[in-house]
Structure 1
């Protein structure tokens, strides 16, 4: 499996993430809605008019992406009383045409992430935890 049980629970509890793609002018970072397939641990991202977005055009040109989900915990979780926690998922992105939109108002084009490296902080214990997958 790609994610630890703690990381998977964390992802399932978060409503938004930020997707960074590489465009002709440099990185583009955008807040996005996402879903996690709990059986495959793949992340799927979509939105309104997603198929014609700059994000999708960037991915067609270069499928390397970074996806960040983070928040502030109610109680200290890290060294020195830090409350920040999250995941950065470096992945290869795949553009997929789904049979139906993931949510009402969204298009049927989605991005499916195939994680290569996971950088977690203050989730499975205090401090950073990095690994290739």
Structure 2
């Protein structure tokens, strides 16, 4: 059973949205960055990767503290904000196969522990 509702999965499948990943460093300092991401339907996870990804602060932060918060949001006119927030455990994977194919590459994989969303009534599920 998916951690996401049908409407949340439909919202994530729309694509083209930035996500925002919040991590915490070894000193307890927060770090929040916009980034590209993929919903991995096979594993029901959020997968995040990128150029030279293993050298990024977010990758190092997840290695030290796997608890993260990830948000995808947008706004429909005239003013209808929609969002999915995923809180869970992340893995810093040095060589994982990206969802949809491709060669092994560093990525962060988030397994949801709690999913909260709002304004999903504006999604065609």
State if a TM-score over 0.5 links the two structures: yes
Show CA shifts across 1:40-78 (max 9, x none): 321100111110111111111100000000000236xxx
Query: How far off its partner does 1:38 sit?
Result: 1.7
| The structure with more radius of gyration | 1
- Residue 11 of structure 2 corresponds to 10
Q: 1:107-126 counterparts in 2 under 5 A? A: 108-124=105-121
Residue segments in structure 1 that go unaligned for 5+ positions in a row: 76-81, 126-133
| CA distance in structure 2 between the aligned counterparts of 1:13 and 1:117, rounded to whole angstroms | 21
| CA distance in structure 2 between the aligned counterparts of 1:68 and 1:5, rounded to whole angstroms | 17
Equivalent of residue 60 in structure 1, options 58, 63, 73:
63
With a CA cutoff of 8 Å and minimum separation of 6, indicate the structure with the bigger relative contact order: 2
Residue segments in structure 2 that go unaligned for 5+ positions in a row: none
- Residue 20 of structure 1 corresponds to 22
**Which aligned segments of 4 or more residues in structure 1 are displaced greater than 3 angstroms?**
99-104
Cα distance, 1:103–1:40 mapped onto 2, change above 3 Å: closer
Conservation of the 8 A alpha-carbon contact between 2:40 and 2:99: no
User: Considering only aligned residues, what root-mean-square deviation do their CA atoms show, in Å?
Assistant: 2.3
Cα distance, 1:100–1:93 mapped onto 2, change above 3 Å: closer
Give the count of matched residue pairs. 117
Query: How far off its partner does 1:12 sit?
Result: 1.4
Conservation of the 8 A alpha-carbon contact between 2:38 and 2:99: no
